Each structure stands twice: as structure tokens, then as C-alpha cells.
Amino acid sequence: MRPPARIRPTLILVVAGSLLAHAALGAAGGHPAIDMLPVLEALALILVLARLGGALFERFGQPAVLGELLAGIVIGNLGLVGFHAFDALRSLPVVEAFAQIGVLFLLFQVGLASDVAKMAAVGASATLVAVLGVIAPMLLGLGVSEWFLRGHQVLAHWFVGATLAATSVGITARVLTDLGRSASVEGRIILGAAVIDDVLGLLVLAVVTGLIQAAGAPGAGSGQAFDAPGVAVIVGKALGFLVLAVVVGRWLSRVTFKLAARLPGEGMLLSFALAFCFFISFVAGKAGLAPIVGSFAAGLVLEDVHYEDLRARDPQRRDLEHLLAPLAGFLVPVFFVLMGMGVDVSVFAQPGVLGFAAALTVAAVVGKQACALGALGPGVDRFAVGLGMIPRGEVGLIFASIGRTLHLGGERVVDDTVYSAVVVMVAVTTLVTPPLLVWRLRGQRPGRPRAV
């Protein structure tokens, strides 16, 4: 450690003068329309606790997102031990809005990172792995739900199964990258399948959710099995937005960045990309869809080639992923901390929750191993593929939080018990994967990427 630098009197005077002046200005600063102080307090606290929690988990080689959730769980449950100083943080609309923008950025990043060419290259294997990896845990989850939650309706069990479907692309990719295996055959199959099963899981969830909404609608018979018109409306809406997003969105992205490239000045790439993301999210919302649908679609249709003129102008040739990283680094942890704050620890004291959580986790881990059968071709380490598909992450939590807003026969589809169990499942599946993958793959020479 070097000794602290000697502070010269001139510097003290200058700093003192600046601070005095700014402080005095502040004293006269009047009152802005919004009280920003609770927002600033909440953001400072959330940022520090998110990083401390993340570091705790990274120290043991685990993903940071678990620590962010834990930080949220701690903040959100301090009331249980009589500490109520942070209770006000739970009801700040501005912080909630920041979290919502954070999850928009996350799905925009996932959309941008979706390398469809790489996925198409491992073709049959990835698709088969994905299909098997969605069906098996979903059926097992359905069974577990039927066993533990006997009073619930059939559609609610299907919803619980659907939360087990999707492997987390982000966590999987990050673990493989950390292991230096993302370019291996196994790595590419896992990544490709993770993207496809994400999509399949969302599709299943959408159909199940649509059926639940139809069944829960006024005038509809409770628990009707297959409401074809309800599904048709969902699919019709989805297709309508799909056409808009793919055809018009691709055209709009190209036109937008062609326009932006003609404009002088700095910061064009980021601002127009964010505006594009916000606009498509807004259109999705106007069509009755969730804004995150729009941001993911915006990321998918926005291609690097659209903005290569703008990128060439940047002295450091930064791409969008690079520019988005600080924004996501600021706001995405806010989303996960707030998500953790939604976990009510007191439900674990209720009988059956821990058992249900354990059974759900086993269903998620064991069920996913069925996908190993789908990895075709000689010399592929099928066991490694199965292990790599275990982690559930953001998507499972997003599903669970959607389930909390749905009602079936007057009951929430995902009640506190199920929500807490899903959080446990996400935490455990994400926790066990890195050590298992390290155990399976370490010592093997990193696989050379094969020609497609």
C-alpha cells in the first residue's frame, strides 16, 4: 500500500471552495417536484447490497444473481426480526420503474446476444435436447404439484410445471464461458438448446396462462379444459405482434440506424438503440402484451449490420453489447433485488413448503437429464449436456411473478408457498450446476470448435 498522498493547501482551498459553493447553492435549491431522497437512499443501498451478495456467491464460484436475490430477501424480510427502517423501500414507484427498465435492458441484451446462426448450426441436436428438456421436467413438476397441492386445479399444476421448463440462457452461457467451453460441441448444443427451450417454455406458459385467464374470466365455467378461442386470441395477438416486430421492426431498425448514421454527433448508436427498444416495447404494450416482449423482439431484429456505419465512427468501435453493459450493470441488479424483496421468508415456517420446494427442485434437476438423450452425434458428452441444462434463472422467476397476478377459482395460481418454492428451485438448480459442470468437464482438454 502506498501512503496517502499529501494534500496540498491549494487543493484543499479549491476543493473547499467548490464544495462550499455547491453546498450553499444546494441550501437555496428549493424543492423539486419529486422527493428524490428516498430514491437515492434506496438505490445506494440496493446497489451495495446487490454487489455484496453477488460477491459472496461469486467467492464460491456461484452466479452473482443468487446473491442479488439473497440481498433482496434480506432487505424484504428484516421486518420479521423487528427492523422496519427499510419498509419504505418496498413502495417506491420510481425504484420499481427503474427495476422495470432494468428487466427491459436484460431482455434487450438477451435478444441482441441470441445468435440464431450458431443455434441453427447445431440443428437437430439442440432442438431435440430442448424439446425433451422441456417436456420431462414439466411433467415431473405437474406430478409434484398434484401430489403436494391436492386442492388446486389442474391448470394450476400445469402452470407449476411450466415454471420448470426453461433453462436460463444467461446463467448457462456465463458458466460455460467461465469454464472456457462455450465454443465446444457440448457448449454449442447447450446454448442452442437453452435458447430453444426458453422459447418452448414461454410458449407452453402462454398457452397455460391463456387457458387460466379464459377459465378465470367472468361467465366462463371454472376449470374448463381446452378453451380453443382463448388460445386462438393469444396466438392471434402474438402473430400480429410477430408480423409487426419481424417485418416492420427489421425495416424500422434498418431505417432508424441508416438515419442515425447520417446525423453528426456522439452517442447516436446508444440513444437510437434505446429509443428503438423503448418504442417496440411500447408497441408491444399497446397491443396488450408485456413490454419485455417488445424489448426482446427489439434485440432479436436489431442486427449488428444495421449499425456498422455508426460503429465505425466510434474511436473504440464499441458495439451495442459494450454500450449497454454499464446501463444493465446499474439497473439489472435493482430488478433482482426487488424480486428477492418479494419473497416472504415466513412462508417457510408453514408445513409442507420445504418438502414441496425440495420435490420441485428434484423434478427440475432429474427431469432435465432426459434431454441428454437428444444430443446426437459421436463423441458428444451427453452427461455434460444434461448437467449444463440444469440451471433455471430469471425466466423461471419472471414466470412465477406472472403467476402471482393470475387467479383461478378465486385463488392465486402462484401463491406465496409456490413462489417461495420456485425461488428455492431457481437458487438450488443454479447453485448445483457450476460445481457439477466443473467436476464433469475439468481435466478434459477444451474442445476445439468443430466446423459446422
Cβ at position 33, least distance to a second copy in Å:
6
Query: Which positions from 269 through 298 interact with a second copy, judged by CB under 8 A?
Result: 270-272, 274-276, 278-279, 281-282, 284-294, 296-297
For residues 449 and 441, what is the distance between their CA atoms, to the nearest angstrom?
15
Cβ at position 389, least distance to a second copy in Å:
18
Binder to a second copy among 122, 301, 384, 427 (CB under 8 A)? 301
DSSP 248: I
Q: What is the three-class DSSP state of 407?
A: strand
All three cell numbers of 197, joined, read 427451450
- Give strand pairing partners of 273: none
Cβ at position 176, least distance to a second copy in Å:
16
Is 213 a binding residue for a second copy by CB under 8 A? The answer is: yes
Binder to a second copy among 3, 6, 27, 225 (CB under 8 A)? 27
CA distances from 189 to 14, 185, 279 (A): 60, 6, 33
Measuring CA to CA, which residue among 432, 445, 427, 334 is closest to residue 389? 432
Is 438 a binding residue for a second copy by CB under 8 A? The answer is: no
Report the residue number, 210 or 374, with the smaller CB distance to a second copy.
Answer: 210
Report the residue number, 29 or 379, with the smaller CB distance to a second copy.
Answer: 29
Binder to a second copy among 3, 29, 82, 219 (CB under 8 A)? 29
Is 28 a binding residue for a second copy by CB under 8 A? The answer is: yes
Is 69 a binding residue for a second copy by CB under 8 A? The answer is: no
Report the residue number, 41 or 348, with the smaller CB distance to a second copy.
Answer: 41
Question: Which DSSP string do the residues of 285-316 spell out, in sequence order?
Answer: HHTTS-HHHHHHHHHHH--GGGGHHHHHHSTT
On whether the CB atoms of residues 163 and 400 are closer than 8 A, the answer is yes
Report the residue number, 94 or 358, with the smaller CB distance to a second copy.
Answer: 94
For residues 426 and 423, what is the distance between their CA atoms, to the nearest angstrom?
5
Query: Which positions from 388 through 407 interact with a second copy, judged by CB under 8 A?
Result: 402, 405-406
Is 82 a binding residue for a second copy by CB under 8 A? The answer is: no
- Among the residue ranges 78-86, 139-147, 190-198, 383-391, the one whose residues contact a second copy (CB under 8 A): 190-198
Is 88 a binding residue for a second copy by CB under 8 A? The answer is: no
For residues 128 and 15, what is the distance between their CA atoms, to the nearest angstrom?
64
Is 220 a binding residue for a second copy by CB under 8 A? The answer is: no
Residue 411 has phi, psi (to 5 degrees) of -110, 150
Report the residue number, 136 or 195, with the smaller CB distance to a second copy.
Answer: 195
Binder to a second copy among 140, 149, 202, 375 (CB under 8 A)? 202
Cell numbers 452461457: residue: 173
Measuring CA to CA, which residue among 106, 150, 160 is closest to residue 396? 160
Q: How far is CA 336 from the centre of its chain?
A: 9
Is 210 a binding residue for a second copy by CB under 8 A? The answer is: yes
Which class for 150: exposed (0-12), middle (13-18), buried (19 or more C-beta within 10 A)?
exposed
Is 315 a binding residue for a second copy by CB under 8 A? The answer is: no
Q: Which residues contact 372 (CB under 8 A, 6 or more apart)?
A: 129, 382, 383, 385, 386
Site mask, a second copy, residues 320-359, x = CB under 8 A? ---xxxxx-xx--x--------------------------
Is 20 a binding residue for a second copy by CB under 8 A? The answer is: yes
Q: State the SS3 of 153-171.
A: CHHHHHHHHHHCCCCCHHH
- Among the residue ranges 191-199, 373-381, 386-394, 416-424, the one whose residues contact a second copy (CB under 8 A): 191-199
For residues 31 and 25, what is the distance between their CA atoms, to the nearest angstrom?
12
Binder to a second copy among 140, 268, 397, 421 (CB under 8 A)? 268
Query: Which positions from 144 through 163 interact with a second copy, judged by CB under 8 A?
Result: none
Report the residue number, 139 or 402, with the smaller CB distance to a second copy.
Answer: 402
Residue 204 has phi, psi (to 5 degrees) of -60, -50
On whether the CB atoms of residues 280 and 249 are closer than 8 A, the answer is yes
Report the residue number, 147 or 282, with the smaller CB distance to a second copy.
Answer: 282
Is 10 a binding residue for a second copy by CB under 8 A? The answer is: yes
Binder to a second copy among 134, 144, 189, 260 (CB under 8 A)? 260
